[in-house]
Amino acid sequence: MLCTWNFVALAGEILLTQTQQKPTTKFQVQSSKYKPSTTTTTVQIYFIEFSYLLASILFILGLKGMSHPETAKRGMHLAEFGMLMAIIGTLMHHEIVSYTWILSGLAVGSVVGLAMGVWVPMTAMPQRTALSHAFGAFAAALVGISEFYRNGGHLEKITMSALGFEVMLGALTTTGSLLAFAKLQGMVRGTPMTYKGQNVFNMALLATTIALFIYLIVVPGSMPLFFTMVGLAFVFGLLLVMPIGSADMPVVMSLLNSYAGLASAATGFVLSNKVLIIAGTLDGFSGFILSVLMCRAMNRSMTNVLFGAFGSAATGPAAGADHQGSMREVNLDDLAVQLAYAGKVVFVPGYGLATAQAQHAVRELADVLEKRGVTVKYGIHPVAGRMPGHMNVLLAEANVPYSSLYELEQINSEFPSTDVAVVIGANDVVNPDARDNPNSPIAGMPILEVDHAKSVVVLKRGQGKGFSGLENPLFFKPVTGMLYGDAKDTLNRLVRAVHEA
């Protein structure tokens, strides 16, 4: 489904970009090269308006549906249908559409979107999303650049304001997203890249870019200044993401998502395209709301995010560096007996569950335990895995009932009455240093307090660190036992062992 959506969205983005080179607003100048082929009839105009209205309604209903796991699938289909209507509506603009460009855009978009949908694994979704943001933002920037160029830079103030906004946001989101992609893909080191005076330099660069933007609104027509502004915005995107460590990337990703959406909305103003304005605004603000939620989940302030240079915040002794004791290994058969005779078990899935594709295995274990009368719940951290909602998607795929999933705030109070908390490939989201050590780089990040359970078992392959690269004192606590091995394999063996217990 995601594949289909990516395909349609990517094709749509390219398509909309390539087809809307028209002087529709009263502010825009008719190009001498512009030669309408056929005329749009009144019926077609009504159809276009209807398809855009329908697309906008479907996008809103789609978003509403996607806000809850139970209705997410339906929401996705509604949004897909909305995108189809928007594309059909755009194709009806006979007088502005060049079908050669449409078909080229559709072919490129389909090939890239389909390939990404088929071959990119779920665990690489964040970097794939970063690439999508880069494509969308680049498309928006290109539309703005071509409009400026086509009109020789002589645009009405209001058009120039929207266009400048679109190009600036589009350009910085393009390079910012590409760098985020490179960091998440491991092509560039994921740790924060900082230098002295970085904030001052970044702010000065941003101020210069905005000053050029304002100048171009007041005194229109300068190509060199416009392209300097575009160049600076491209550079600013890189500088914005450079000082941000991979652990803070979810916030950056959702913020870039918001920028890409707002750039698309500005494109809609420039092209007088209502569906782009609505879809861009929805995308921009849903991205912004997600940023706020992610900030809370990662314990980052929005100011910190907006002014870059975060992720290198912690100084002083790093958390977990002075941990005491050793890790205690547990036996699989002993754990099976413990689980089989427990009153309440809470599973805490993390990134390792996703890499091992162990969602079906955990569901099977839960089924076996529930048949024996054990109460089974799942504790879901908002940033467990590598993208927002990662665990919800995986567990839904394995038909784990939504009623068994508990958010952080709901499940934390239940750990003291939990007999066994089974941590499956999770690390950072259960790191007690976030709560106990103010010097930890993840200090203040809300965690699943599994260490309050009567007993904790951690399923992981070995001594590997979490995404933040920090040591986890949980693994050294007396209450914790370690069961090494691939999560899927271990869970499958546990299912058999519980049957025999």
Which residues are marked as active site? 428
The secondary structure element, H or E, covering residue 170 is helix 157-184
CB of 465 to ligand NAP, least distance (A): 6
Contact between 256 and ligand NAP by CB under 6 A: the answer reads: no
Name the one range near ligand NAP by CB under 6 A: 25-33, 224-232, 235-243, 426-434: 426-434
Residue whose pair of structure tokens reads 């519980």 in the numeric block: 498
Q: Tell me 443's DSSP state.
A: T
Contact residues for 220 (Cβ-Cβ < 8 A; gap 6+): 153, 154, 155, 157, 160
Contact between 257 and ligand NAP by CB under 6 A: the answer reads: no
Name the one range near ligand NAP by CB under 6 A: 164-172, 236-244, 312-320, 423-431: 423-431
Contact between 305 and ligand NAP by CB under 6 A: the answer reads: no
Options 427, 437, 440, 480; binder of ligand NAP; rule CB under 6 A: 427
Is the C-alpha dihedral spanning 279, 285, 287, 290 positive or negative?
A: negative
Options 22, 300, 386, 477; binder of ligand NAP; rule CB under 6 A: 386
Options 335, 429, 474, 498; binder of ligand NAP; rule CB under 6 A: 429
Q: Are strands 375-380 and 405-407 parallel, antiparallel or unpaired?
A: parallel
CB of 284 to ligand NAP, least distance (A): 19
Name the nearest CA neighbour of 55 among 105, 107, 8: 8
Site string for ligand NAP, 128-167 (x = CB under 6 A): ----------------------------------------
Options 426, 491, 497, 498; binder of ligand NAP; rule CB under 6 A: 426
Contact between 284 and ligand NAP by CB under 6 A: the answer reads: no
Cα(6)–Cα(175) distance, rounded to whole angstroms? 20
Q: What residue type is assigned to position 8 of the chain?
A: V
Residue whose pair of structure tokens reads 């950072």 in the numeric block: 428
In three-state form (DSSP H/G/I as H, E/B as E, the rest C), the secondary structure along 48-89 is HHHHHHHHHHHHHHHHHHHCCHHHHHHHHHHHHHHHHHHHHH
Q: Tell me 476's DSSP state.
A: G
Using DSSP, state whether 392 is helix, strand or coil: helix
Name the one range near ligand NAP by CB under 6 A: 68-76, 151-159, 323-331, 427-435: 427-435
Name the one range near ligand NAP by CB under 6 A: 71-79, 244-252, 263-271, 407-415: 244-252
Contact between 288 and ligand NAP by CB under 6 A: the answer reads: no
Contact between 113 and ligand NAP by CB under 6 A: the answer reads: no
Contact between 493 and ligand NAP by CB under 6 A: the answer reads: no
- Are the C-beta atoms of 115 and 163 separated by less than 8 Å? no
Q: Which of residues 313-332 bind ligand NAP (CB under 6 A)?
A: none
Contact between 464 and ligand NAP by CB under 6 A: the answer reads: yes
CB of 423 to ligand NAP, least distance (A): 8
Rounded to the nearest 10 degrees, how much is the dihedral formed by the CA atoms of 491, 494, 499, 501? Answer: -160
Contact between 347 and ligand NAP by CB under 6 A: the answer reads: no
Between helix 2-19 and helix 125-150 the angle, nearest 10°, is 10
Name the one range near ligand NAP by CB under 6 A: 144-152, 214-222, 304-312, 456-464: 456-464
Contact between 16 and ligand NAP by CB under 6 A: the answer reads: no
Using DSSP, state whether 333 is helix, strand or coil: helix
Options 181, 288, 467, 475; binder of ligand NAP; rule CB under 6 A: 467
Task: Write the Ramachandran bin of 206: left for phi over 0, alpha for psi from -120 to 50, otherwise beta.
Answer: alpha
Number of residues that bind ligand NAP (CB under 6 A): 33
Q: What residue type is assigned to position 457 of the chain?
A: V
Contact between 461 and ligand NAP by CB under 6 A: the answer reads: yes
Cβ neighbour number for residue 287 with a 10 Å cutoff: 20
Applying CB under 6 A, which residues contact ligand NAP?
Answer: 126, 247, 249-250, 350-352, 355-356, 383-388, 390, 425-429, 459-468, 486-487
